[in-house]
Structure 1
Amino acid sequence: MFQQTAVSSLRVHIVSPLTLHCSSRSYADRSADDRVGIRPRGTVERRRNDYHPKSVASENCTKFLQLVPLASTKDYILIVLAAHFVQGFVVQSCEGLYLFESLHAMRWLCKCCTYFSENRRRIIEHYRAVHGHFGRNCPLPCIYSDCHLVFRSQQSLKNHLRQHGVSQHEPIGHLNFKINCQLCDFNESVTIKQYFSHLGKHLKSKETVTCPFNHCSFKSSVYSTFTSHKSRFHNNVTLQDLKSELVLQTNVNEEHLVGQVQSDISDAEFSGVENITEHEVNTDTVQARLASLLLRLQTVLHVSKTAVQQIVTEFRDIGVLVGELNKNTLDKALRQHGCTIDESTLNIVKDTLCQANHFSCLSEGGSLGTDKRRLSFFKENFSVINPVEFVLDLSSKRTFVYVSILGVLQVLLNRGDVLDRVLEERQKLQSGHYASFSDASYCKENPLISGEDLSISLGLYIDDFEVCNPLGTSRKKHKLCAIYWVIANLPVRDRSSLSTIYLAALCKSQDVKTFGYSPIVQPLLRDLKLLENQGIYINRLGTSVRGTVLYISSDNLGAHSFAGFQESFNVDKFCRFCLAGRKDIQTCSVRSGAFVLRTRESHNLDLSELKDNVTLKSVNGVKRDCVLNELQYFHCITGFPPDFLHDLLEGIVPFELCLCLKKLIENKYFTVDHLNTAIQHFPYTFSDKTNCPQIIPVNFHLVGTIGGNGHENWTLLRLLPLIIGEVVPENDNAWSVILELKDIVEILVSSSFTEESLSYFEAKIFEHRKLLIEVFPDVKLKPKHHFLEHYPGLIRCFGPVVDFWTFRFEAKHSFFKKAARDLNNFKNIVLSLANKHQLMLAYFFDMPCLYKPAVEVERATYSSLENLSTLVKQAIQHKFSHLTTVSLATTAFIHGTKYVKGMFVSFGSTSGLPDFCQILYIVVVDNKAFFILQPFSTWYLDHFRCFEVCSTDDQQLVVVEHAELNHYAPLSAYTVQGRHLVSPKASLLH
């Protein structure tokens, strides 16, 4: 395709280092000012110091390629494509001229970085030597360019490559012939062994395969029979023995063909016995891998320092034993072969062998021998941003720690994987919907964030948490206050990983009460002012980028405390969004317009009144100014979004479920025991099984809540109609309250809103309020009910509330709780925890990518379309007319969400109602995930607030891209009264 395209010029701009494999030498570590010019052969000026790129004109070629350090793997691919136009070219640099003889010399490309090689073994060795962080967070990809499978261990990758064959993959080496397959469109430069590996796939699919060798008409559909035939009759053959109609090009010599017959994946490619020049294994390599392993044990796997030291000591002792064993083995081998070497020379060889212990870094004097030496090594060789300890009161040894936001940002934004995502998110077109904070009014009114220049938006989170048992004797003694932050410019899916939530400050909660937030936030405030005014310099962009705080997430108590509002919700002016009175919310709604919204101007007037009259404790609920109001582009009135988790899932939902369940039990529809039995024996599947609700306490009506955490309450509310809906009569008022509440939660977890959907949401909240008061006239509305009424307006100001909820931030606490147990020492616990967190962060910074792949598939079956069922084949051909071979998976992780065969997803709509389909297979084409779906007819059941799915007479399947789904969340179908019901997680009404 590329050879037929006429291109007069091509420029590729790159802003990060790239290693070019130039013949037998490497060209690496160029600064942004260095340039490498690639020109057609025969047009190069041989001046040693002239290496600036120039346009090159010749009789046959007027193309040129300007090369500067690469920005991403995508840019490298552009260069490879451009090189198709220049089949032979040279690289001119200040070191001299290096010849690229052909494009095939750089066919194998590392998917984790820009490294490439002409040798498959070297790519595998590169994975082991450079990318040793394989695991859940950084899986190893298959080395084939169009294979999307990933693996969490090298053994899994090894097994996959052994069975991989070469079907639909690029050729290896410099083979100048191609072999085609008579059963599919396979047409590749391969060896005989690789070709038979491809034929084996047809045999395993029970296809009849004809022997490909001359003068042989043998046929078989049995794998073992066919391989036995080859071994008996065609054991010593070359490619020239193949039938002529199979070999499309044969301009290679016999010697070359014979030498290529046995080249395939072997244990040697994983054992490291080959001499890999690009990644020569030396003591430094071993030391780096050991350091990475020990750092992972200590910070990610939470192995205590004592246990790590014991492991190091055992490794050290084993290393000594191995050295002695090697010495004896050498002595024995020399004697067996009758080597006559001078005794003194022999002793020198033995001693040298023993001293060449690659585990010497674990010795007592080695760089990794003790905890202190390991810490020094980590700080010197990893990107460790050390926390700084500040003293609040020297006499009582009150301190807090701060981790420089600017320092962490400097590391992050100079990484290609982070900066690329920030830039891609910025380039997304606004659709007119409220799909992110950039679509909302507060962002558009912020001159820094909404400007044309790139700016960084930060999201902060403040919360208190217990590192010890909250019910034990240490309760509140070691309670900590943490300030976390994220880069809000990143896609929401990339902000959910705990490794992308960073620590800013850590202190004891008691110190916040004693000294206030002001002294603790001062270092953070200083850095934020610098970020607003000067910004940070990004080497990859060649300019400084400014930024500010976009929002601060917290529970209501934390938000009011930090923002300077009343911390009690029993006071009159309890709302941080308006001036509603405590009694007024029982009779008036936000929709009525009875409450005046807070503004920056009104807030400043309240602060002025407080300042003028020192006897006042508060004015309109304002106690003091927010520390971060000193920033130029942040204000507390527009900076604290609502807290969906605590307002709804841990507030209104358990409260109203308590009221409604109590009334339903009083109506004798069921008992508490019957309800708990139904909850325990409900057939939860997939993610519902992970977050299944707990049983209801027997005395729940006395406590006033059913308890439970946010995930459990969400699952209970969503599935309660399926659990007990069949025993509750229709149109029951208490049941209607539950259903209306279910609708509200589904709307809130939506990722996009329009003005129409917000108006509908506002009406839903009003109807729910009215119904709740009618059914339970003696119950007073809580402040959280009032906060809920603000949500439609707040979505217009902040964007979807799921972008700011505190689920993942609270999960971050788990690291510090585990770390506290590992330390087993609470002396200066704040600094100890911060140090361990920063070491953990340094480990992740050492990874080639901080984020999981968009699509992760560990197992897939490659198959020709001819071997698939007619319905599956027709669906694939309708979507992809050019495909003849596909890989089908039954399980895949897409943007972190697990999809499994049998799950239901929503796609399309009929008469305003969403349609549902069942996943049959998952296909990855061009790094995009597609589902092969079985459509179902859908009926809406109002009493269950669910959808009934029924098989259709039309058995036609559809292939749908992941991005085309109505909502990303996969669902389960449960059988209730013989009907298959699906309860959505988010609103799907069109």
Structure 2
Amino acid sequence: MLQLREEFLLPKNVISSISTYIVALVNNLQSLIEQKAALCHSDAVGNAFASTSATNSTKKYLDIDAINNTINEVCCAVEAVTRNEYQFQQFCEENFSYRPPKQIVLSDPGEATELAYFIPIDETIKSVLHNNYVIDQILDNVKQQRQKVFGDEDLMFSFRDGDYGSRIDDDSLLVQLYIDDIGLTNPIGAKKDMHKMSMIYFTMEDVPDQYRSQFEHIHLVGICTSRTLKVKPLKKFMMHCFHVPQCGRSSPRVETLADNLAAHQIGGFQSSFSTGYVCRRCFLKHADLHLPMIHIRPDTRTSTYHDDLVRRITSNLNGTSIMGVVGKSLLSDLDGFHPTMSLPADLMHDYLEGVCPRVIISLLKEASALRLITYFRIQERMEQFAYGHFDSRDKPPPILVKHLQNDKIAASASQKWCLFRLFPLIFADIVDKLPSFIVYKQLREIVDIVFSVPFRKAWLPTLRDLSFAFQYSMIKHFPRQVVPKVHFCTEYDQVINDYGPAIKQWSMRYESYHYYFKKIALRSNNYKNTPKSLATRYRLKQAFSNFRMTQLNHSDQAIRIQKVKNNLFSNEMKYVIINHFGNIDMSKDLVQCQKFRHENVEYCRFGIYIISLANLTEAPEFVQVINVIKLTHKWWLLVDVLTTVGYDDKLCAWEIRSMDQFRILDPYSMKYYLKGLDVYEIDNSTFVTFTARLTSY
């Protein structure tokens, strides 16, 4: 264990799993030995060991040769599995239904071999839906959404509720496809370089919202080197990867997600965003980016006109682009796909990686220019800010002087999101002194709307007006930061109208899933045929996951369970507990835990949660979990019902106040709005902040 920990640097949870399996192996070995035990009469042992009893008795005895043979059989079985990769995969095929990834030869005869690997979507979907609980959860989620929309047609839950999604059947399965490039670095050896891989993933959109963030619901479809995608015809590879089996009465419309560059390459649009027609949804030129949208209205691209442009380019021997279109889409032969309707916008790249960090950098530079704060104090302020339990997972790194000089924040998308949300709290003493703070407030209100699910169609006109006002403010205050992504943000009212809630099509979790393959490549240190290695390792992981049936795992998990002490609760809390459970001995009948996870929602002590919305104003009603207690076989939440004072426009946060109103809540029957929130204290007042507009349904 010491070698595993200190030489191979395995984490504690991995070492614990290894020790658990060793104990299980010893227990199985013990069972095998007991099966080898023979029964014989006591007089067969000999007179020296004869029983003094008049009756014959039976005893178990073990033959030393039988023990050695049993141990040798176990050792041979273990060695046979781990002797080489081929035998290991054969063992997985026999016991875990493992199937190797399929191989495609993309190169022409006589050329250097170019290979790609894919996992058929239909096989993955069948393996996932083999779990009856998964099927029930998905069908129940779709049924509930359809019932809510039938009762209130203003609601939008998924792609089905957009204009394009209304054309598919309710009993069809919604499948999202995502394509992106990742860089894998070989740190040593002759091939020390960055290996670029093109990854294609898919997920099922109908998975309940609280489970969508789990990696096990993202599945690999295909993988090949990026240079192959650039120089080889992709029709054969793409048609294999993007083949979606029929679900329901008809095949679902293909919904392909990608960042802007990949989406333009897939759709047959120009890949440059610094000149010409930069938008795949309208005919906006780069030269017109600084013109207010309230004065210009670029024509929207239609499928008919786009097809006409493709025909003109195809018939043109020069092959030059026309109005931003460079040719036929890579997926044009795929049923249900069209470049103008099957490539939705991506919140992560347009907002979290686009306009949000640009606005933050611009505001901080303006604050420095007005002598409100220095670059050094900005770094110091971010280092000293106390992030809450939930936000600390995405704690952004400090903004250094070089970041401000280069107009670039070095952080991940989730860290930029956290910084954008907490910006008014971190710099609460200066934000209201910035003349351009109106830009942040407009953008924050837009983000709150576009990140909402369910979404209301009545919000679309408000979103359009806010987007146009934000673009005008950017032109006025930060003209150097007006890039194509600022224009993309003005189109989200139409994007949501066509595709449903925008957050259902964002690529955040797909981007996070890249880390798994980067880690596998680094630890395996095998760069001879990287696509095959990664596809094989993923397929093995998928086989184990299906064997364990972990999808939509609804088992509860309590962390740090301990006994309850009588002095833990105040008199008001004791009154609430006794009133709910009756006359019990708290120190004997109750236990507590630090965290409790139910249906992938973590209830943490002192975390803030939304339990309902006010009837008229739809203001959120908050509770703070004081303790998580268990009586007999069920967990309960002891909460403090907080008073919602109101929304603070300066801090973009809800002010809350504790009135010591305690209640016992059942986590199994609570309605899900958002996961846990942190509380922050500013000027002797407490606030919570989140990016979403909630609505009653």
TM-score between both structures, scaled by the size of structure 2: 0.83
Q: What is the 5 A alignment of 1:56-135? A: none
Tell me what 1:635 maps to: 338
Secondary structure at the aligned position of 2:625 is classed as strand
- Matches of 1:481 and 1:506 in 2, distance apart? 6
The residue type equivalent to 2:425 in the other structure is L
Q: C-alpha distance in 1, partners of 2:563/2:494?
A: 51
Name the aligned partner's letter for residue 228 of structure 2: D
Matches within 5 A, 1:588-737: 588-589=292-293, 594-728=297-431, 730=432, 732-737=434-439
2:288 to 578, 581, 584: 584
Query: Which residue identity lines up with residue 363 of structure 2 in the other structure?
Result: C
In the alignment, does 2:524 pair up with 1:843?
no
Q: CA, structure 1 residues 886+596, in 2 after alignment: closer, same or farther (shift >3 Å)? A: farther
* CA distance in 1 between partners of 2:669 and 2:78 (Å): 55
* Partner AA of 1:783 in structure 2: P
1:988 Cα deviation after fit: 4.8
Which residue identity does 2:489 align to in structure 1? L
Return closer, same or farther for 1:747/1:365 CA change in 2, 3 Å cut-off. Answer: closer
Counterpart in the other structure of 1:460: 177
- More contact order relative to length (CA 8 Å, sep ≥ 6): 2
- Structure 2 distance, partners of 1:859, 1:889, is 5
Partner of 1:986: 692
User: Contact 1:458–1:547 at 8 Å: present in 2 too?
Assistant: no
Counterpart in 2 of 1:101? none
2:680 maps to 974
Partner residue, 1:413: 129
Q: Structure 2: 5+ residue runs without aligned partners?
A: 1-11, 38-44, 52-59
**Which of 77, 84, 89 is matched with 1:375 structurally?**
89
What's 1:424 paired with? 140
Shift, 1:487, TM fit: 2.0
- Cα distance in 1, alignment partners of residues 218 and 272 from structure 2: 29
What SS does the corresponding residue of 1:586 show, helix, strand or coil?
Answer: coil
Q: Residues 609-649 of structure 1, C-alpha deviation per residue, up to 9 Å, x if partnerless?
A: 22222323222222222233323333232221211111111
Matched, 1:785 2:483: no
Is 2:113 the counterpart of 1:397? yes
Residues 472 and 827 (structure 1), Cα distance of their counterparts in 2 relative to 1, 3 Å cut = closer
User: What residue in structure 2 maps to residue 523 of structure 1?
Assistant: 240
* CA distance 1:274–1:469, change in 2 (3 Å): closer
Answer yes or no: is the 8 Å Cα contact 2:474–2:481 preserved in 1. Answer: no
Does the CA contact (< 8 Å) of 2:29 and 2:71 recur in 1?
A: no
Q: Secondary structure at the match of 1:441?
A: coil
Summarize the alignment of residues 734-745 of structure 1 with structure 2, pairs less than 5 Å apart.
Answer: 734-745=436-447
Q: CA deviation at 1:924?
A: 7.9
Q: 1:438 aligns with which of 125, 140, 160?
A: 160
Shift of 1:438: 2.3
The answer to whether the Cα contact below 8 Å between 1:468 and 1:474 also exists between their aligned partners in 2 is no
Indicate if the aligned counterparts of 2:256 and 2:343 stay in contact, CA closer than 8 A.
yes
Q: Any conservation in 1 of the 2:156–2:501 contact (CA below 8 Å)? A: yes
1:5-34 deviations in Å (ceiling 9; x for gaps): xxxxxxxxxxxxxxxxxxxxxxxxxxxxxx
Q: Give me the whole-angstrom Cα distance separating, in 2, the residues matched to 1:473 and 1:659.
A: 43
Give the partner amino acid of 2:645.
T
Tell me the distance in 2 between the aligned counterparts of 1:273 and 1:387: 33
Structure 1 segment 927-966 matched on structure 2, within 5 A: 932-952=639-659, 955=661, 957=663, 959=665
C-alpha contact (below 8 Å) 2:269/2:325 kept by paired residues:
yes
Aligned counterparts of 1:772 and 1:917: Cα–Cα separation in 2: 38
Deviation at 1:598, TM superposition (A): 1.8
Partner of 1:374: helix, strand, or coil?
Answer: helix
Q: Would you say the 8 A contact 1:492–1:803 is kept in 2? A: no
Take 2:366 and 2:672, find their aligned partners in 1: how far apart are those partners? 36
Conserved 8 A contact 2:636-2:664: no
**Aligned to 1:758, which of 448, 451, 460?**
460
- Residue 520 of structure 2 corresponds to 819
Query: d(CA) in 2 for partners of 1:501 and 1:594?
Result: 38
Cα shift at 1:890? 4.2
The equivalent of 1:57 in structure 2 is none
Summarize deviations over 1:686-730 as a string: whole Å, max 9, x none: 1211211111131334322223221111111111211122134x3
Change (3 A) 1:709 1:368: closer
Cα RMSD after superposing both structures: 4.1
* SS across alignment from 1:975: strand
Distance (whole Å) between structure 2 residues aligned to residue 699 and residue 869 of structure 1: 51
Task: Determine if contact 2:175/2:203 at 8 Å carries over to the other structure.
Answer: yes
Q: CA deviation at 1:511?
A: 0.9
Please give the per-residue CA displacement for 1:285-331, whole angstroms capped at 9, x wherever unaligned: 99xxxxxxxxxxxxxxxxxxxxxxxxxxxxxxxxxxxx9xx9xxxxx
Shift of 1:813: 1.4
Q: Is the contact made by 1:939 and 1:948 (CA closer than 8 Å) also made in structure 2?
A: yes
Partner secondary structure for residue 608 of structure 1: helix
Q: Report the AA paired with residue 675 of structure 2.
A: A
Post-superposition CA distance 1:878-904 (Å, at most 9, x none): 889999987654421233243211122
Shift of 1:840: 1.0
What SS does the corresponding residue of 1:552 show, helix, strand or coil?
strand
Amino acid at match of 1:461: Y
Tell me the alpha carbon deviations over residues 338-359 of structure 1, each in whole angstroms, 9 at most, x when there is no partner: 479xxxxx99933222112275
What residue in structure 1 maps to residue 4 of structure 2?
Answer: none
Note the C-alpha offset of 1:827.
1.1
How far has the Cα of 1:335 moved from its partner?
A: 10
In structure 2, the CA distance between the partners of 1:364 and 1:978, relative to structure 1 (3 Å rule), is closer
Deviations along 1:663-689, whole A, 9 cap, x unmatched? Answer: 110000111111111100111121211
> Cα distance 1:870–1:891, how it changes in 2: closer, same or farther (>3 A)?
same
Partner residue, 1:385: 99
* Residues 947-988 of structure 1, C-alpha deviations (whole Å, 9 max, x = no match): 332233x73546475775683132222222222222223235
2:602–2:675 contact (8 Å) kept in structure 1: no
Aligned length: 654
Separation in 1, partners of 2:405, 2:333: 46
Q: What is the percentage of aligned positions where both structures have the same residue?
A: 23
**Distance change (3 Å), C-alpha of 1:392 and 1:871:** same
Which of the numbers 481, 487, 503 marks the counterpart of 2:204? 487
Which whole-Å CA distance do the structure 2 matches of 1:924 and 1:426 have between them? 33
Residue 857 of structure 1 corresponds to 558
* Paired residue type of 1:840: K
Provide closer, same or farther for how the CA distance between residues 794 and 938 of structure 1 changes in structure 2, counting only shifts above 3 A. same
Contact map agreement 2:638 2:663 (CA 8 A) in 1: no
The answer to whether the 8 A contact 1:748-1:802 is kept is yes
Preserved CA contact (<8 Å) 1:923 1:929: yes
Is 1:354 aligned to residue 68 of structure 2?
A: yes
> 2:652 is matched by which residue type in structure 1?
R
* TM-score computed with the length of structure 1 as normaliser: 0.60
Q: Verify the 8 A CA contact 2:180 2:258 in the aligned structure 1.
A: yes
2:202 matches 1:499? no
- Look up the SS of the partner of 2:317 in the other structure: coil
Is the CA contact (8 Å cut-off) linking 2:463 and 2:493 kept in structure 1?
A: yes
Which amino acid is 2:126 matched to? Q
